[in-house]
Amino acid sequence: MQITSFEQYQEVYQQSVNEPEQFWGSIAENFVWKKKWDNVLSWNFTEPNIKWFEGAKLNITENCLDRHLLTDGDKPAIIWEPNSPEDDSVTLTYKMLHEQVCRFANVLKRNGAQKGDRICIYMPMVPELAIAVLACARIGAVHSVVFGGFSAKSIADRINDAACKLVITADGAYRGNKQIPLKDVIDDALIGCSTVEKCIVLTHVRTPVSMLKGRDVWWEDEVKHVNNVCEAEEMDAEDLLFILYTSGSTGKPKGVVHTCGGYMVYAGYTFSNVFNYQPGEVYFCTADIGWITGHSYIVYGPLSQGATSLIFEGIPTFPTPSRFWDIVEKHKVNTLYTAPTAIRSLMGFGDEPLVGKDLSSIRVLGSVGEPINEEAWHWFDEKIGHQKAPIVDTWWQTETGGIMISPIATVTPTKPSFATLPLPGIQPILVDENGNEIEGNGVNGNLCIKFPWPGMLRTTYGDHERCKLTYFSTYENLYFTGDGCLRDEDGYYRITGRVDDVLNVSGHRIGTAEVENAINMHAGVVESAVVGYPHDVKGQGIYAFVIFPAMHGDVELTKKDILQTVTRVIGAIAKPDKVLFVSGLPKTRSGKIMRRILRKIAEGDISNLGDISTLLDPNVVQEIIERASEKK
Ligand code: WTA
């Protein structure tokens, strides 16, 4: 299944386009099925209705665990590196992981979980998070992992949207020198969640928490009551595997739905190829399992290929900015997959943190989540890869389930800041505003995909219409990514960023409308508008223009209050970097906020604001410009 030369890539790609069903059918043969499919693919993009491997039966955990037991049972499946280097790392072999997943799957059953039930997971980056995820999959329950940085309200919204029956959490999480009180946050969230019957709590930071009688149980107690034998539930290829919430242009995050068969094939195939994973290698993805990168390339992709997946609780700069390099040296990491934000932030510390670190084990480097600028690309290449490790700049999305456009390590010639070429089976197309295809090279357009792939989303949970509207209605018969893209003279793709109202802050997707809704919850705020602006480390920063008429007293204090409100409503990741109080917002006569103008002001580029004569009150623009420049 691994492609080993560029010529082979070109052949395989052609075949995958000419005969997609044969192509994916033969890839799927590399996985374990309880029953093979009747039909590889049936689809239309109008409803949309997409089915891969119809009629097939499987359980993804048999592919991630059981099938490796005989040959690789004693091989490390997961290596966990804790927040503090003074604490010990933990290694779970495939045998151990299998046993723990089965045991915890029985705990889930014991607490009333059944096939099809939704289970919310809000946990630190510990091996038990992977165990919880796999245990859900083992019994056919649908996991909805919520990143540990989200607020109680965000969690409650997600739990209610999916009507989750169970919650799995921990007492707390470590994040550098901070502790996050996960259970307290869950307690707040659950006040508004009537569907939740049980909450399973892992002891991790050993902080006191309150346990509600009848609802809350300890992980450590529960596992004592069950054995470690748990048959894998037989799942239909199109049964739900998980829901993962992501931001869009409206205020409400949507639950992206992935199903068992296609997702498994796609995550496994892309992992094996993009990273050119070789048996015995240590693969380190620095993402959190709470994001899609963690789902596909910490858990399911690597484990389905029998890889050793290193997971890390903590941050790149704690206790020192050498943390990643120490981990690489300690565990002889062969592949490092991280985000441009982390690279830029570490780059900012200069060469000192790298002195004396042995990075010679590194063979492949990867980047994900946001465009990587050339400077960061070169730094990564020179300082970390010593110009010997190919960098795979992987473009994809929560909705795509796996990597779509990316170099294949050791195969595709790379180019700084370019995601390069589509993987086999992926048919990208650039279109103009009207949906007309932009052909040829050296062109820019909106990135769409014209043919289904096994890892694509099937729906948005509980609201199929929204899935259709968001992804399949902008352009007829195309999946619209929301990204702008350049195809250069060589036919290489470079993703230029979102073309909708979604920000990408430190590689995290945040909807401007969501942040505005949060700011507007502050009692003094009448209205707000949020835009992104270029940020040296985060890629994009959040700039909020806020109307707050009754401002008495301390402006800084009011700003703090507003930031606090956003933290409470969404989470600290959505906190604006800049808040500017204004008396009005630039609006058209029909009341629409002209974000284009605000974006220009936020970028500090007021030379060309375009036509502002159509504004309801053109004077507000001058006022905002003045206030913005005072602020600097
Ligand atoms: C952006 C993360 C440029 C893009 C896997 C996309 C990228 C959004 C890249 C999805 C890349 C992701 N180069 N931009 N290599 N990878 N993006 O759903 O805007 O968290 O639409 O999935 O991140 O973010 P998501």
pLDDT in tens, 282-337: 999 999 999 999 999 999 999 999 999 999 999 999 999 999 999 999 999 999 99
Q: Calculate how far, in angstroms, residue 482's C-alpha sits from the geometric centre of ligand 1.
A: 10
171 pLDDT higher than 80: yes
Q: According to the model, what pLDDT value does residue 518 have?
A: 97
Is 121 touching ligand 1 by the criterion CB < 6 Å?
Answer: no
Q: Calculate how far, in angstroms, residue 368's C-alpha sits from the geometric centre of ligand 1.
A: 7
Average pLDDT over residues 605-628: 89
Whether the bond between 319 and the residue before it is cis, its omega within 30 degrees of 0, is yes
CA distances to 518, 593, 601, 615 from 530, in Å: 11, 10, 12, 18
Under 8 Å between Cβ of 260 and 241: yes
Q: According to the model, what pLDDT value does residue 54 have?
A: 98
| 4, two tokens | 């080993």
Q: According to the model, what pLDDT value does residue 42 have?
A: 98
Is 504 touching ligand 1 by the criterion CB < 6 Å?
Answer: yes
Kindly indicate the confidence band of residue 624, based on its pLDDT and cuts at 50, 70 and 90. Answer: very high
Least confident of 349-353, 580-584, 627-631: 627-631
Q: Calculate how far, in angstroms, residue 404's C-alpha sits from the geometric centre of ligand 1.
A: 10
Q: According to the model, what pLDDT value does residue 389 have?
A: 98
- CA-proximal residue: ligand 1, atom 8 (nearest): 397
Is 138 touching ligand 1 by the criterion CB < 6 Å?
Answer: no
Q: Calculate how far, in angstroms, residue 504's C-alpha sits from the geometric centre of ligand 1.
A: 8
At 70-103, the pLDDT tens digits run 999 999 999 999 999 999 999 999 999 999 999 9
For the chain, helix (H) and strand (E) counts, in that order, are 20, 30
Candidates 332, 407, 397, 343; CA nearest to 373 is 343
Q: Calculate how far, in angstroms, residue 397's C-alpha sits from the geometric centre of ligand 1.
A: 5
d(CA 227, CA 275): 37
Of the candidate CATH numbers 3.40.50.300, 3.40.50.12780, 3.40.50.620, 2.60.120.260, the domain formed by 6-472 belongs to 3.40.50.12780
Q: Report percent pLDDT > 70 for the chain.
A: 100
SS3 169: strand
Is 322 touching ligand 1 by the criterion CB < 6 Å?
Answer: no
Q: 116-151 as b/e, with b when 16 or more CB fall inside 10 Å? A: ebbbbbbbbbbbbbbbbbbbbbbbbbbbbbbbbbbb
Under 8 Å between Cβ of 482 and 498: yes
Q: According to the model, what pLDDT value does residue 613 have?
A: 84
Angle at 543 between CA 539 and CA 548, to 5 degrees: 165
DSSP 77: E
Q: In one letter, which amino acid is 539?
A: G
Diameter over CA atoms, the chain: 74
Mutate to test the pocket of ligand 1, among 243, 344, 395 (most ligand atoms within 8 A of CB): 395
Kindly indicate the confidence band of residue 252, based on its pLDDT and cuts at 50, 70 and 90. Answer: confident
Q: According to the model, what pLDDT value does residue 612 have?
A: 85
6-472 shares its CATH topology with 502-631: no
6, containing H or E segment: helix 6-18
Kindly indicate the confidence band of residue 4, based on its pLDDT and cuts at 50, 70 and 90. Answer: very high
250 pLDDT higher than 70: yes
Edge-to-edge strand ranges of the sheet holding 479-487: 428-431, 443-449, 479-487, 493-498
Average pLDDT over residues 451-480: 98
503 pLDDT higher than 70: yes
CATH architecture of 502-631: 2-Layer Sandwich (3.30)
Q: Which atom of ligand 1 is nearest to the CA of 509?
A: 20
Q: Calculate how far, in angstroms, residue 371's C-alpha sits from the geometric centre of ligand 1.
A: 7
Q: According to the model, what pLDDT value does residue 267 have?
A: 99
| 545, two tokens | 């223009």
Q: Calculate how far, in angstroms, residue 421's C-alpha sits from the geometric centre of ligand 1.
A: 15
CA 149, distance to chain mean position in Å, is 13
Secondary structure (DSSP) of 411-428: TSPP-TT--BSBPTT--E
Q: Calculate how far, in angstroms, residue 395's C-alpha sits from the geometric centre of ligand 1.
A: 6
At 220-233, the pLDDT tens digits run 999 999 999 999 99
Is 256 touching ligand 1 by the criterion CB < 6 Å?
Answer: no
Kindly indicate the confidence band of residue 542, based on its pLDDT and cuts at 50, 70 and 90. Answer: very high
Is 154 touching ligand 1 by the criterion CB < 6 Å?
Answer: no
Find the DSSP H helices in 63-111. 67-72, 94-110
632 pLDDT higher than 80: no
d(CA 198, CA 90): 28
Under 8 Å between Cβ of 370 and 400: no
Q: Which atom of ligand 1 is nearest to the CA of 293?
A: 5
d(CA 63, CA 210): 38
Is 509 touching ligand 1 by the criterion CB < 6 Å?
Answer: yes
Kindly indicate the confidence band of residue 614, based on its pLDDT and cuts at 50, 70 and 90. Answer: confident
Q: Which atom of ligand 1 is nearest to the CA of 502?
A: 19
At 275-293, the pLDDT tens digits run 999 999 999 999 999 999 9
Is 288 touching ligand 1 by the criterion CB < 6 Å?
Answer: no
Secondary structure (DSSP) of 242-284: EEEEE--SSSS-EEEEEEHHHHHHHHHHHHHHHTT--TT-EEE
Phi/psi for 112 (5° steps) reads 95, 0
Q: Where are the domains of the chain?
A: 6-472, 502-631
Q: Which atom of ligand 1 is nearest to the CA of 399?
A: 18
d(CA 251, CA 154): 12
Q: Which atom of ligand 1 is nearest to the CA of 394?
A: 15
At 343-367, the pLDDT tens digits run 999 999 999 999 999 999 999 999 9
Average pLDDT over residues 175-181: 96
- CA-proximal residue: ligand 1, atom 24 (nearest): 397
Candidates 599, 600, 602; CA nearest to 578 is 602
Q: Calculate how far, in angstroms, residue 2's C-alpha sits from the geometric centre of ligand 1.
A: 24
Under 8 Å between Cβ of 334 and 282: yes
Is 396 touching ligand 1 by the criterion CB < 6 Å?
Answer: yes
Number of CB atoms found within 10 A of residue 14's CB: 12
Mean pLDDT of the chain: 97
Q: How far apart are the first and last CA of the chain?
A: 55
Is 368 touching ligand 1 by the criterion CB < 6 Å?
Answer: yes
The secondary structure of 488-545, three-state, reads: CCCCCEEEEEECCCEEEECCEEEEHHHHHHHHHCCCCCCEEEEEEEEECCCEEEEEEE
| 546, two tokens | 């806020």
Candidates 217, 204, 209; CA nearest to 167 is 217
Considering just the CA atoms, what is the radius of gyration of the chain in Å? 24
CA distances to 51, 125, 149 from 290, in Å: 26, 9, 9
Q: Which atom of ligand 1 is nearest to the CA of 406?
A: 15
Mutate to test the pocket of ligand 1, among 246, 412, 509 (most ligand atoms within 8 A of CB): 509
Average pLDDT over residues 424-433: 97
585 by Cβ neighbours in 10 Å (0-12 / 13-18 / 19+) ranks as buried
Is 82 touching ligand 1 by the criterion CB < 6 Å?
Answer: no
